[in-house]
Amino acid sequence: MAAVRRFKTLEDTRKALAAYLRAIESGALDPNTGRVLIYGCNVVASIIRDGDLEARLEALEAGHVSEG
């Protein structure tokens, strides 16, 4: 059984996307399966970006409140 990928950062997601694309190009991965995996990576990347933006916004708001 293949190792389970962990997507904690955008870099993790980028590496997975690259691996899936290489596997599709080489014929080792069915394009339909690859399409599903790539879509999932895009969703995960969006969630990571949203979480990062939320954390940055909360930090900015906390700094603003403490100054006021």
Predicted confidence (pLDDT) per residue in 2-15, tens digit:
567 788 999 999 99
Q: Is the residue at 53 inside a domain? A: yes
Q: Is the residue at 51 inside a domain? A: yes
Q: Is the residue at 2 inside a domain? A: no
| 3-class DSSP assignment, residue 43 | helix
Q: Is the residue at 4 inside a domain? A: no
Q: How many domains are contained in the chain?
A: 1
- Rounded to two decimals, the pTM is 0.76
pLDDT of 15: 95
Q: Is the residue at 3 inside a domain? A: no
Neighbours of 21 (CB within 10 A): 14
Q: Give me the domain span that covers residue 47.
A: 10-67
Which range is most confident: 4-13, 33-42, 53-62?
33-42
8-state DSSP, 7: -
Count CA atoms within 13 Å of residue 13 on its CB side: 16
d(CA 25, CA 15): 15
